Structure 1
Amino acid sequence: MEYLTTHLLFNLALLIVLLFLCFMWVKRFKGFQYYKKTALFYCIASIVLCFLFSYRISDSIVLDLRMVPYVIGALYMRFSPILGLLIIFLRAIHGIDYGFYFVLCYYGLFGIISWFISPWFLRQRSNHRILISTCFTILSSISLIIYLEVLDQSYLMFDFFIAFLIVLPIGVAMLSFIIEMIEKYHLLYQQVLKTEKLEAVEQMGAAISHEILNPLTSAIGFTQLLDEESVESRKKIQYLSIIKGELEAAEQVIKDYLTFSKPQIESVEKLNVNEELFRLLKFLEPLANINSVKLLTKFSAKVYLDGDRQKFQQCFINILRNVIESLPNGGDVLIETECTQKNIFIIIKDSGLGMSKSSLKRLGEPYYLTNGKKGTGLGIMVAYSIVRAMGGTIDVKSEIGIGTTFRFSFNRIT
């Protein structure tokens, strides 16, 4: 003979497994904004499972662990009307008898009680909520035992006591504890996201304000010099040229920020990758010579991609400038292209100092530079944004003392 306690322990195992699967589903695919919907699905699915694996004592008495998801859903999510109606409906499928009428009265009464105490319950501390939900379950279990005693099921009372006064409360306590842990994880997750967003905003604000204030301060200073009557006309022209250069520098910072925040590809055209790279390498050659860096090339046959010429050049100028400036003692930089039937790969390798794993993770963050100089760190960020806007991907590998390799992948066209 199968004991009720054994049957309910099997029910409890199913409920715990289902809760774990729902939590993983929310965390992996949907995100915590679907938390309440998933909780409702869990409670409904759990009640249905309990009915499917119910324990029938007689034609009118059907026992299972439905009280566990009901208590959890009623107290934590205020689902008592929905779950109560579902239980009554499923019990009606088993038959309209005195057992059905007991369920109707039983869940009607506890549904009203749980509805009114739920707001007070949710204001309690975590440990108190676990204790309250367990005590609530014990009270409901006592009423069930009294009902079974009235029906003269005395030969099974020891099994009933174990099942309803131990298994049922422990089941609610376990699920309550798991839910409290999920709630704490959710709150911690939200705090981490908020902190990361605030940190990014602070870093971006500090970076941009620093880079804009410097040229503006310089421009204001030379503007004040222009007001002096003793300034020669030749110096006025020189001052105006400096002011123009400083304002253009501030404008470039703003343009970089706008490109990063909303990298729009305005004009798409067929680009010869090798020709575009040759053109920008000529532009960067003086900077490479100043830093004692030798630019090497290893290009494959002609390859083409669809993209914005200006944005493409801006992306790789930013990357190569950063690579060149990050070689304090000079060295070699190899720019290589490879292609397959579907993809084009642009590979940039340097023989520099390399980056640690922590530095590699921070690459592309605001105000983080690898060239050891002051700046906004927007150059790499803009490059990353442009690559994403053009449907490409970036893979960066680096080893301390060996160097860093950037690998860009784009869709190839014929």
Structure 2
Amino acid sequence: MYKLGIITMHFLFNLSLLLILFFTFFLLNKRVGSIHLHKRASLFYFVISLILCSLFSYPIQNGYVLDLRIIPFILGGLYLRFSPILGFLVIFFRAFHGIDVGFFIGVAFYTVFSLFIWYISPWFLKLTSNIRILFSAGITLLISVGIFTIALNKVSPDQLLDIFIAYLIVPPLGVAMISTLIEIREKNQQLQQQLVIEEKLAALEQMGAAISHEIRNPLTTAIGFIELLDQVSLDSNNSAKYLSIIKDELDSAEGIIQDYLTFSKPIMESTEELDIQKELTHILKLLHPLANYHSVKVSTDFSASGTIQGDKSKFHQCFINIIRNSIESMPYGGALMIKTTATQNKIIISIQDTGIGMSKEQIKRIGEPYYSTKGSEGTGLSMMVAYSILRAMRVTIEVQSEIGEGTLSQFHFKRHKTKIKRR
């Protein structure tokens, strides 16, 4: 019964290191993802693999060195067209073992084969996944046969079986295993991309439903009054009244479209220093009539003052939507508390209401299309806009709520170092 020879064991250990490196680099590191999407990171992997193969090479007589350099060379060349770079590195690393006959044979072989692999790589990538695995393993086997033929005259007879297994089985097996892992990783990446596309399409469909639902009401009202003006003779006072209603409804529709544009592209048009206390006070003045209408008592605690950097109009739009949503969550009255606290690096705006509250699932869905925190089904466009603005401002959001117990929302802003001087 054959016992694994030293060369075979050497190669199997080296192959295990390459597999561990691949698993660590591509399968655990989610930031790397597809080898085609991150070519620099992938090149780094293949270069490290070549270094490992060079470190764990096995020298034989007459200056010849056996190793698994063919594995990263073949895979990097076929999948990413890195063969010229990898071929140069193979020759460079081989030079450390001496400039001898084996070195010049390697120069000739890797120069020609680098160009060949680089040339066939586009054709290779058009093949199916299984054919790519078979082709890469097959071409590795052919090269291994050539190397084995050369090595026959350089080793003792008792090493022939060891060399045969080490060079005709381990490299093709290694290429087949790693190429299979590459194909699996690529398929997973494609599935993830497909899921993202489907989620975007679903969100787009929901957004379309949201916009059509929101914009239909003012347009229907405007069309109705236009038809009334066209069909009925009215005095100047009624005509002016109806025209005013039409204008208000069209302004409302324009506002909805503007909200959608803000949601889809919440770019900060102008950045300036904002006094949190001053801006919140101004917002609460605007919403005071709405709070009175819903019998909501608003109280404030602006004990912490400070400034942030942001777009004033976007900041107003954001917190008008959020506070209005809190007020409307208390249709039969309640209490609303707006509070600011500060740390050395942050300013925290807390908004607490005694409204109907939300479940954990509802908290996760805040800001999604076709969802409203007021309990009844709605588009939730205002909250979508608000959360889109906050994400653009890189604000950390924390929401605590229970059904029937109200909601506490906290918004963590990065504090601006310069403080506004008060007289």
Asked if these proteins are the same fold (TM beyond 0.5), I'd say yes
- Cα distance, 1:276 vs structure 2: 4.0
Contact 1:271 1:309 (8 Å CA) reproduced: no
1:407 aligned counterpart, secondary structure: strand
Q: What CA deviation, in whole Å up to 9, does each residue of 1:344-389 have, x standing for no partner? A: 2111123344334443233223333222456543312332344455
The unaligned stretches of length 5 or more in structure 1 are none
Q: Which of the residues 75, 79, 82 maps onto 1:79?
A: 82
In 2 relative to 1, CA 405–229 (structure 1 residues): closer, same or farther, beyond 3 Å?
closer
Contact 2:266 2:392 in 1 (8 A): no
Secondary structure, in 3 states, of the residue corresponding to 2:401?
strand
SS of aligned partner of 1:355 = coil
Structure 1 CA distance for aligned equivalents of residues 46 and 107 of structure 2: 19
> Could you tell me how far 1:121 is from its partner in structure 2?
3.1
The reply to whether residue 268 of structure 1 matches residue 246 of structure 2 is no
Q: Which amino acid aligns with 2:91?
A: I
After superposition, what is the alpha-carbon deviation per residue over 1:261-301, rounded to whole angstroms, capped at 9, x for unaligned? 2343547355251x543443344344345445443434425
Q: Secondary structure at the match of 1:365?
A: coil
> TM-score by structure 1 length?
0.86
CA distance in 2, matches of 1:368, 1:200: 12
The 10-residue stretch of structure 1 (309-318 or 52-61) with the greater mean CA deviation from structure 2: 309-318
* Residues 324-355 of structure 1, C-alpha deviations (whole Å, 9 max, x = no match): 22345654333222222333211112334433
- Residue type of the partner of 1:350? D
| 1:89-145 Cα distance to aligned partner (Å, 9 max, x none) | 432442333323443454456546545554443233222322222232222222222
Given the alignment, which residue of 374, 383, 387 partners 1:384?
387
Q: Residue 100 of structure 2 corresponds to which residue in structure 1?
A: 97
Give per-residue Cα distances to partners, 1:184-236, cap 9 Å, x unaligned: 12212222232233333333333234323332232122112212352333332
Question: Identical aligned pairs, as a percentage?
Answer: 52
Structure 2 residue 327 is matched with structure 1 residue 321: no
CA contact (8 A) 1:318 1:379 kept: yes
Residue 338 of structure 1 aligns to a residue whose secondary structure is strand
Residues 321 and 382, structure 2, Cα contact 8 Å, conserved in 1: yes
Instruction: Name the residue aligned to 1:167.
Output: 170
User: CA contact under 8 A between 1:26 and 1:32: conserved in structure 2?
Assistant: no
8 Å contact kept, 1:265–1:390: no
Are the aligned partners of 1:263 and 1:385 in contact in 2 as well (CA < 8 Å)?
A: no
The structure where helix makes up a greater share of residues is: 1
Q: Is the 8 A contact 2:305 2:340 kept in 1?
A: no
The residue number in structure 1 matching 2:370 is 367
In structure 2, the CA distance between the partners of 1:325 and 1:10, relative to structure 1 (3 Å rule), is same
For residues 79 and 390 of structure 1, the distance between their equivalents in structure 2, rounded to whole angstroms, comes to: 41
CA change 1:185–1:306 in 2 (3 A) is closer
Label 1:402 to 1:55 Cα distance change in 2 as closer, same or farther (>3 A).
farther
Q: What is aligned with 1:300?
A: 303
Select between 297-306 and 57-66 the one with higher mean Cα deviation.
Answer: 297-306
Instruction: State which of 216, 221, 245 in structure 2 corresponds to 1:218.
Output: 221
Please say if 1:14 is aligned against 2:2: no
Cα gap change, 1:316/1:185 in structure 2, threshold over 3 Å: closer, same or farther? Answer: same
Within 5 Å, which residues of 2 pair with 1:82-231?
82-107=85-110, 110-111=113-114, 114-115=117-118, 117-231=120-234
TM-score (norm 2): 0.84
In structure 2, the CA distance between the partners of 1:116 and 1:354, relative to structure 1 (3 Å rule), is same
Contact 1:332 1:350 in 2 (8 A): yes
Residues 29 and 41 of structure 1: is their aligned pair in 2 closer, same or farther, counting only changes over 3 Å? closer
Counterpart in the other structure of 2:352 = 349
In 2: Cα distance, 1:312 partner to 1:123 partner = 50
Distance (whole Å) between structure 2 residues aligned to residue 13 and residue 170 of structure 1: 12
How many residue pairs match? The answer is: 413
Q: RMSD of aligned C-alpha atoms?
A: 3.2
Asked if residue 67 in structure 1 is aligned to residue 70 in structure 2, the reply is yes
Alpha-carbon distance in 2 for matches of 1:286, 1:83: 71
Whole-angstrom CA distance in 1 between matches of 2:35 and 2:383: 31
5+ residue gaps, structure 2? none
Q: Which stretch of the first structure deviates more once superposed, 180-189 or 135-144?
A: 135-144
Amino acid at match of 2:272: V
Structure 1 residues 403 and 13, CA, compared in 2 at 3 Å: closer, same or farther?
A: farther
| 1:335 has 2:333 as partner | no
Q: Please give the alpha-carbon distance, in whole angstroms, between the structure 2 residues aligned to 1:329 and 1:253.
A: 27
Q: After superposing the two structures, state which structure 1 stretch, 182-191 or 204-213, moved more.
A: 204-213
Q: Distance in 1 between matches of 2:348 and 2:332?
A: 28
Which segment drifts farther, 3-12 or 188-197? 188-197
* Shift in alpha-carbon separation, 1:41–1:342, aligned structure 2, 3 A: closer
- For 1:56 and 1:150, the matched residues in 2 are separated by 14
| C-alpha distance in structure 2 between counterparts of 1:382 and 1:226, whole Å | 35
Query: Is the CA contact (8 Å cut-off) linking 2:34 and 2:185 kept in structure 1?
Result: no
